[in-house]
Amino acid sequence: MDTFKTLIDSMNRYINTADHLIYVTYPLVKEEKLILASLENLHNALIFAVEAILFYDKMYKRIGLYPDNFNAKLETFKLKCAPRYNFERNVLVLIQDVVELIQQHERSQMEFARKDKYYIFDRDYVKMKSIDLQRIKAYIMDAKPFIEKVNRIYQHDLSRRTS
C-alpha cells in the first residue's frame, strides 16, 4: 500500500509542477525551455499514473506480472486496465504522444527554442517536432481528468481499507 501511495504522491507532484510551470512561471519569465520542463513533468506524472494503476491491479491480482520496460507496461495498461476503468481513448493517445516527444527529445542532437515554441529535430535532421505553449496547455488540460480519476481510484481504495 505504501508503494501505491508513493506513486500517487509522485504523480500529483509532477502534474502540479507541470501546471505551475506553464500557467504561473512561464508568463513571468517567458523562457521557452520551461515548455520542455513542463512537458517532462507531465511525462513523469503520466508515467506514475500508469504505474499506479498497474500496481493497484497487480496488488488485487487483476493482472499478472508484466515486463519492466515502459512500452510493455503501456501495452498492458491499454489492454487490461484502460477498459476496466473506462479510460478514454484520448488519454491513451495523450500518453503515447507525450512519451514519443520525450523519447525524441532524448535522442535528438539538436533542439532550439524560439517565440513560445520548442523545436526538436531527429538524428538525421529530417523530421522536426515542435512543442508550443498552446499544445502543452492542451496536454495538461487533457491529462487532468485522467489524473483525477486515478486519484479517485486511490481515494476509493483508501476509504475501503479504513471502513
d(CA 68, CA 119): 30
Q: What is the pLDDT of residues 81-100, one digit of tens each?
A: 999 999 999 999 999 999 99
Q: Please check whether residue 33 is in contact with residue 113, taking contact to mean a CB–CB distance below 8 angstroms.
A: yes
What pLDDT score was predicted for residue 1?
58
d(CA 61, CA 43): 27
Which CATH number fits the domain that encloses residue 44? Answer: 1.20.120.330
The single residue listed with the C-alpha cell 503501456 is 74
Alpha helices in the chain (DSSP H): 2-20, 26-29, 33-59, 70-76, 82-85, 89-107, 133-162
* pTM beyond 0.85, yes or no: yes
The total number of structural domains in the chain stands at 1
Query: Collapsing DSSP states into helix, strand and coil, what is residue 119?
Result: strand
Half-sphere exposure of 103 (CA within 13 A, CB side): 8
- Average pLDDT (88-115) is 89
Q: In the chain, what percentage of residues exceed pLDDT 70?
A: 96
- In which domain, by residue range, is 92 found? 2-162
The CA distances from residue 160 to 3, 52, 116, 156, in Å, are 17, 17, 46, 6
